[in-house]
Amino acid sequence: MCGIVGYVGDKQARDVVIEGLRLLEYRGYDSAGIALVDNGSIVSDKRAGKLANLEKSIEETPLPPSTTGIGHTRWATHGAPNDTNAHPHLGQQGRVAVVHNGIIENFAQLRDELEREGHDLRSETDTEIAAHLLENELERTGDLTTAMQAVCRRLEGAFTLVAVDAQDPSLVVAARRNSPLVVGLGEGENFLGSDVAAFIEHTREALELGQDQVVTITRDDVRVTDFDGHEAAGRRYHVDWDLSAAEKDGFDWFMRKEIFEQPRAVADALLGRHDGRGELQLDEVRITEDELRDVDRIVIIGCGTANYAGLVAKYAIEHWTRIPCEVELAHEFRYRDPILTRNTLVIAISQSGETADTLMAIRYARRQRAKVLAICNTNGSTIPRESDAVIYTHAGPEIGVASTKGFLTQLMACYLLGLYLAQVRGTKYGDEISAVISELEQMPAHVQRMLDQAETIYALARQNAQTRSVLFLGRHAGFPVALEGALKLKELAYIHAEGFAAGELKHGPIALIEEGLPVFCVVPPRGRDQLHDKMISAIQEIRARGAHTIVLAEEGDTSVAEYADETITLPVVPTLLQPIVATVPLQLFACELATVMGHDVDQPRNLAKSVTVE
């Protein structure tokens, strides 16, 4: 949530900050603001709504030249999304400006204290108290870094803070606890960002900061300390994508571009993970083979789409390894006092690597001595850093708020992990593992075949432009696909959409079926005879009650024809891998339906890309 940019160098900070905000806007778009250091004072502008409102305001009232600045795009937590609550916030005297991501939990108590001292707090935000406290400390110590360390020691909760001092244009100071912050390392200039997109146009050299660290950037220097002022170090890394990956490339939406990138993303997820003879090598797994052999239970955690990837993974991992596997929403997990031992393997799935609910669940699990393996897309993010092992999904930056290539590559990583566990524990023969890997290698081509049907799916979406409700049915690994299809539609088209396990229909949901209701039905491959036939029965039942059935069935499956109002053809793939192909038309449908409804597909209302608050 919230995008943060900081800059000091010799370019115009206004341009660097606004461009950075544009690339971070997917993180939050309730308001946008900027503050520049100008001849002993802070000049700031901030506007409710999207970045375009701020840009318009700056066009009407230009900002002065400055080479030091900070900026923010907001996903509102404390206080309504209006101009007053927009960041940056200034201290009492207007000497410091602060932008913030996260939630300061002891904010009410600190606010009371400041008000008793006579501070005039204008907004409803927790951020403003940080600005006032920081300015107090700055007046006392005369040094923004020392002041930031002192303030951070008093704050509870999650925060990234970035601040400038009107009287010292040579630096920008930032701090982080439980919230993302990376440094971009330039030549004669340095950057701060919630993620590398903020500065990818200028540099691909980055410094990952640890927990509870303060960083001071000047043009030529980057200094990291802990909250007590002790020297500390970040981890330097090279970003393996460039600006072009963060641009739309001629597509109308990032989401559509990312859907069409999936053949490449799925191929990259597999790249270098096996030796060609079927032997898997997941070298980011820093858990020993002995420890993996001792695992007696797996718990998969994640939120939203990542949770659905986990649901698919359960089918595959249990089948291949015979290890009992549970899937749990990360935000529910630690509150139910789960039983974990040193032989429990927790698999944490997160595209962003910053989801607070998942991060807190990881910390809880590790405190209980469980091993945690992260499946993550974002190098340099917090979740892989705080896990015992990581498998990166290599999807490249995912900017559309609705996850697409993130999901498919999470599935690929889960399959690889399942096969790796089977290899290590000897629950599958080498040739069986090789056979599945060969099938996985076909996936990029299969996904491309699904994309080749895009125009048909778009036409279907346009026919349904007036619909107010859509249901999705699946069984086995197709059930999470149904859930994912429904989530995409809720997020993007803002209509009622629900996914059900088809077997559950007659236990209640069938009452929802009425004349003309569109129902997507994911039919398992014919290889799973019983499941397949039961799914066909479910389709018959809903059709008899008036549903408009949109049936996803594998090529050559003639049994569905009689009961399908529309048919979407899936390539013939193994049951466990079918989610990779069956999800694609549901993504295309949601993207197109939201487009024809006139919604902002990349920035759906009330949402933000990464949820860094609990």
For tokens 């001849």, the residue is 39
Rule CB under 6 A: say whether 549 interacts with ligand M6R: no
- Is 521 catalytic? The answer is no
Q: How far is CA 489 from CA 4, 15, 290, 312, in A?
A: 29, 36, 43, 19
Rule CB under 6 A: say whether 303 interacts with ligand M6R: yes
Selecting among 2, 325, 414, 521, the annotated active-site residue is: 2
Terminal Cα distance for the chain, rounded:
11
Residue 519 or 611 with smaller CB distance to ligand M6R: 611
Binding residue count for ligand M6R, defined by CB under 6 A = 16
Q: Which of 14-22, 33-41, 303-311, 556-564 is the region at the interface with ligand M6R (rule: CB under 6 A)? A: 303-311
Q: Are the C-beta atoms of residues 33 and 88 closer than 8 Å to each other?
A: yes
Q: How far is CA 303 from CA 300, 351, 352, 563, 582, in A?
A: 10, 10, 11, 34, 21
Residue 234 or 304 with smaller CB distance to ligand M6R: 304
Altogether, the residues listed in the chain come to a count of: 614
Supply the DSSP string of 210-228, one letter for each residue.
Answer: -TTEEEEE-SS-EEEEETT
Selecting among 46, 257, 490, 609, the annotated active-site residue is: 609
- Is 534 catalytic? The answer is no
Closest approach of ligand M6R to the CB of residue 42, in Å: 33
Closest approach of ligand M6R to the CB of residue 499, in Å: 13
Q: Which of 21, 35, 306, 586 binds ligand M6R (CB under 6 A)?
A: 306
Residue 67 or 603 with smaller CB distance to ligand M6R: 603
Rule CB under 6 A: say whether 145 interacts with ligand M6R: no
Residue 138 or 306 with smaller CB distance to ligand M6R: 306
d(CA 88, CA 162): 9
Residue 346 or 487 with smaller CB distance to ligand M6R: 487
SS3 145: helix
Token pair of 522 as six digits: 């994911």
Closest approach of ligand M6R to the CB of residue 26, in Å: 10
SS3 592: helix
d(CA 259, CA 511): 34
Give the full edge-to-edge strand order of the sheet including 344-350: 325-329, 297-302, 344-350, 371-376, 389-392
Rule CB under 6 A: say whether 305 interacts with ligand M6R: yes
Residues 224-241 as b or e (16 or more Cβ within 10 Å = b): bbbbeeeebebeeeebee
Rule CB under 6 A: say whether 358 interacts with ligand M6R: yes
Rule CB under 6 A: say whether 611 interacts with ligand M6R: yes
337-356 binders of ligand M6R (CB under 6 A) = 350-352, 355
Q: Which of 88, 304, 338, 499 binds ligand M6R (CB under 6 A)?
A: 304
Cα angle for residues 559, 311, 372 (degrees, 5° grid): 155
Rule CB under 6 A: say whether 300 interacts with ligand M6R: no
Residue 126 or 258 with smaller CB distance to ligand M6R: 258
452-491 binders of ligand M6R (CB under 6 A) = 487, 491
Closest approach of ligand M6R to the CB of residue 162, in Å: 22
Rule CB under 6 A: say whether 587 interacts with ligand M6R: no
For ligand M6R, which residue has the nearest CB? 304
Give the full edge-to-edge strand order of the sheet including 3-8: 41-48, 31-38, 68-74, 3-8, 190-193, 182-185, 205-208, 235-238
d(CA 614, CA 161): 18
363-402 binders of ligand M6R (CB under 6 A) = 401-402
Question: Which residue type occupies 525?
Answer: P
Rule CB under 6 A: say whether 583 interacts with ligand M6R: no
Name the site residues for ligand M6R (rule: CB under 6 A): 303-306, 350-352, 355, 358, 401-403, 487, 491, 610-611
* Residues belonging to the active site: 2, 609
